[in-house]
Amino acid sequence: MNLLVKGITLVDPNSEFNQKTCDVRVEQGKITAISKSLTLAKGETLFEGKGAILSPGFFDLNCMIGDPGLETKEDIETGTAAAKAGGFTGIAVLPTTKPVVQSKGEVEYILNRAKNNLVDVHPIGAISRDLEGKELAELFDMKNAGAVAFSDGSKAISDDGFVNRALQYSLGFGGLLMLYPENKSIAGKAQINESKNNVLLGMKGVPALAEEMQISRDIFLATYHDAPIHISNISTAGSVAIIKKAKKDGVKITCDVAAHQLVFTEDLLNDFDSNYKVKPPLRGKNDIKALILGLKDGTIDAISSQHRPHEIEFKDVEFEIAAYGIIALQTVLPLLLQAGLDATTIAEKLAINPRRILNLPIPIVKVGADANFTIYHPTQKWEYNSATNASKSSNSPLLGKILTGKVQLVYNNKQFQVYEQ
């Protein structure tokens, strides 16, 4: 479908038009013209972009979709609808399904289910069979079938020897392990951050040490094999410092942070709202400051949604027995703007670097390129409610709230979706 975008500000560090206000013409899925002034042609859809930003299409590194087997939480259709509404033109989906994505059959199933979608859906295969951390899944076969990386989701792998073998094996065929950082023996069964707050609430706390020790272990193993690793969803100031030093030392390490960890603090748990129960737990203000600084100085490579849909019966219960996680695909952008991130940082951490980490093609806003972009207005307000929520689930503390930062259009795979301006 043909589209003419008028008066839009382009933010793409890889484009010669970066930070310029231009008109952009798209014909049959290709960007055919970028200029100061283009005239609407017959059959084109006009989009007035005044005050809005055009960025390479967002990409999510860490997203749970329940298909196969857990479609009552989220399926491919609703998951990609939520992704589109949040500005994502690509998502990497975790293997935490039923059955677990642990062989080429499950990888091929997801790829076939997601065909012809505006949103590119990339399966992440399991590292271990049934996510138990004991036996290697079929990594090589999954890679050949189209898996972009390997992860056990939010399950940390305790067995050092198992991770050692997994790194050694995956190195042989260019596989990437995405590891969740938690030392289970230190974290125990605690569910919130260890601080004065957990004492006041009368609940055991997860110390930052549990995350930081696990990252240190993974760095030692990656260094030993000279292998790449990715640390998913870091949350502490100490983790930022450890990873910063590792990068300086030449370790092939990348990491991401969930958007909500840049805004939400542990103080929000005082009312025991289970919609704020996430893993890793919400931390303190000093951690948030360190995470934002880590994004700005390049220590943290990417931002993820950590989208975790759940049926109401898993969340509308006492805090201690509630499931971890929130739906987040539609609220990443407003949270990043609330955290004070600028458009260039958002483009780098939410569009460019996630694809670079997974060795996927990076969309560039230039003439002749395939159109793959997101248009959003950084100051437009909108209400996130049951009518605007595209997910099948509703476990978000932001539902019913007015948010700032609205996705207005997404374009990918010769398709585009316009949202209310």
Average pLDDT on 28-57 reads: 96
Q: What interhelical angle do 208-225 and 237-248 show, nearest 10?
A: 20
**Whole-angstrom distance, CA of residue 237 vs CA of residue 240:** 5
- The radius of gyration of the chain's CA atoms, rounded to the nearest angstrom, is 21
Is the pLDDT reported for residue 410 higher than 80? Answer: yes
**Whole-angstrom distance, CA of residue 62 vs CA of residue 85:** 17
**Cα angle for residues 83, 84, 90 (degrees, 5° grid):** 65
CATH class (in words) of the domain with range 56-357: alpha beta
Strands annotated E in 222-334:
229-231, 253-258, 302-304
What lies within 8 Å, CB to CB, of 202 at 6+ separation is none
pLDDT of residue 320: 94
**Whole-angstrom distance, CA of residue 192 vs CA of residue 199:** 10
Average pLDDT on 62-67 reads: 96
**Whole-angstrom distance, CA of residue 19 vs CA of residue 58:** 18
Alpha-carbon 407 to chain mean position = 16
Average pLDDT on 248-274 reads: 97
**What is the pTM for the complete model shown?**
0.97
What lies within 8 Å, CB to CB, of 7 at 6+ separation is 21, 23, 48, 49, 50
Confidence class for position 196, pLDDT limits 50, 70, 90: confident
pLDDT of residue 421: 63
H/E stretch holding 221 reads helix 208-225
Q: What is the mean pLDDT of the chain?
A: 97
Average pLDDT on 141-169 reads: 98
Q: Which residue has the tokens 């991770």?
A: 163
Percentage, residues of the chain above pLDDT 70: 100
Q: Are 92 and 62 in contact (CB under 8 A)?
A: yes
pLDDT of residue 199: 82
Is the pLDDT reported for residue 382 higher than 80? Answer: yes
Token couple for 293: 């600084």
Sorted by where each begins, the domain ranges of the chain are 3-54+366-418, 56-357
What lies within 8 Å, CB to CB, of 11 at 6+ separation is 18, 19, 53, 54, 55, 343, 344, 346, 347
Alpha-carbon 191 to chain mean position = 22
**Whole-angstrom distance, CA of residue 33 vs CA of residue 260:** 37
**Whole-angstrom distance, CA of residue 125 vs CA of residue 128:** 9
User: Got the DSSP string for 119-139?
Assistant: SEEEE-B-SBGGG-SSSB--H
Phi, psi of 201 (to 5 degrees): -85, -10
Phi, psi of 15 (to 5 degrees): -105, 145
CATH class (in words) of the domain with range 3-54+366-418: mainly beta
Q: Which residue has the tokens 């399904």?
A: 97
Is the pLDDT reported for residue 312 higher than 80? Answer: yes
Q: Are 278 and 324 in contact (CB under 8 A)?
A: yes
**Whole-angstrom distance, CA of residue 150 vs CA of residue 92:** 11
Is the pLDDT reported for residue 36 higher than 90? Answer: yes
Confidence class for position 420, pLDDT limits 50, 70, 90: confident
**Whole-angstrom distance, CA of residue 216 vs CA of residue 220:** 6
Quick: pLDDT tens for 200-238: 889 899 999 999 999 999 999 999 999 999 999 999 999
Quick: pLDDT tens for 317-344: 999 999 999 999 999 999 999 999 999 9
Quick: pLDDT tens for 111-152: 999 999 999 999 999 999 999 999 999 999 999 999 999 999
> What is the bridge-based pairing of β-strands 3-10 and 53-56?
parallel
**Whole-angstrom distance, CA of residue 208 vs CA of residue 140:** 34
Is the pLDDT reported for residue 1 higher than 90? Answer: no
Quick: pLDDT tens for 269-292: 999 999 999 999 999 999 999 999
Percentage, residues of the chain above pLDDT 90: 97
Task: Say if residue 54 is exposed, middle or buried (CB neighbours under 10 Å; 0-12, 13-18, 19+).
Answer: buried
**Whole-angstrom distance, CA of residue 102 vs CA of residue 150:** 9
Average pLDDT on 304-310 reads: 98
